[in-house]
Amino acid sequence: MDKKLYEEMNKQVQEEFYAAYLYLSMSNWLEDQNFGGFAQWMKAQAHEETEHAMKIRDFLIDVGQKVNLMPIAKVPTEFKSVLDCFEGALAHEKHVTSRINMLYGLAKDKKEYAAEVFLQWFVKEQVEEEKQTADAVAALKMVGESMGALLQLNKTYGKRD
């Protein structure tokens, strides 16, 4: 496999685990603030991120590459509000999208067809990832300062498996 593509895909395993760590930290904070529903949503999101990391790890192994797990940076543990958490998650998803697009472009340029096809799933997934997080940010902005509406939304978001 092309060296640069390999290095960036290996790094993406770390990036996805970092996202899992970040969302789990948000979930912990939300739990502590008694927003169990939003905490559940973030925990499910953290779980999805570990699945993303494993998918890339498995692909690299399938094509005969070594996976070198890199250290995960410290994540924030304090947040200003529920909205702050979701805005942070959206900003992070945009960062991930830019990385996935870079990886896809690299696979195309280097004629790494297996990686190109594999990464298509992630390109599509990022559309969904950004949309669902942006929808949450929009809903939280609509709710504003109303605690009643926020608790109602908390209940709705807690329904995610």
Q: How far is the CB of 139 from ligand FEO (least distance, A)?
A: 18
118 or 143: CB nearest ligand FEO: 118
Q: How far is the CB of 11 from ligand FEO (least distance, A)?
A: 13
Give the three-class secondary structure for 77.
coil
Please give the residue whose beta carbon sits closest to ligand FEO in the complex. 52
Q: How far is the CB of 18 from ligand FEO (least distance, A)?
A: 10
In contact, 30 and 146? CB cutoff 8 Å: no
Helix, strand and coil in the chain, % to nearest 5:
80, 0, 20
16 or 87: CB nearest ligand FEO: 16
Q: Would you tell me which residues interact with ligand FEO (CB under 6 A)?
A: 16, 19, 49, 52, 93, 96, 129
Q: How far is the CB of 49 from ligand FEO (least distance, A)?
A: 5
Q: How far is the CB of 97 from ligand FEO (least distance, A)?
A: 8
> Among candidates 28, 18, 8, which has minimal Cα distance to 93?
18
- How many whole angstroms from its chain centre is CA 120? 16
49 or 112: CB nearest ligand FEO: 49
Residue 62: C-alpha distances to residues 57, 78, 150 (Å): 9, 39, 45
19 or 106: CB nearest ligand FEO: 19
107 or 143: CB nearest ligand FEO: 107
In contact, 140 and 30? CB cutoff 8 Å: no
User: How many distinct helices (H) and strands (E) make up the chain?
Assistant: 5, 0
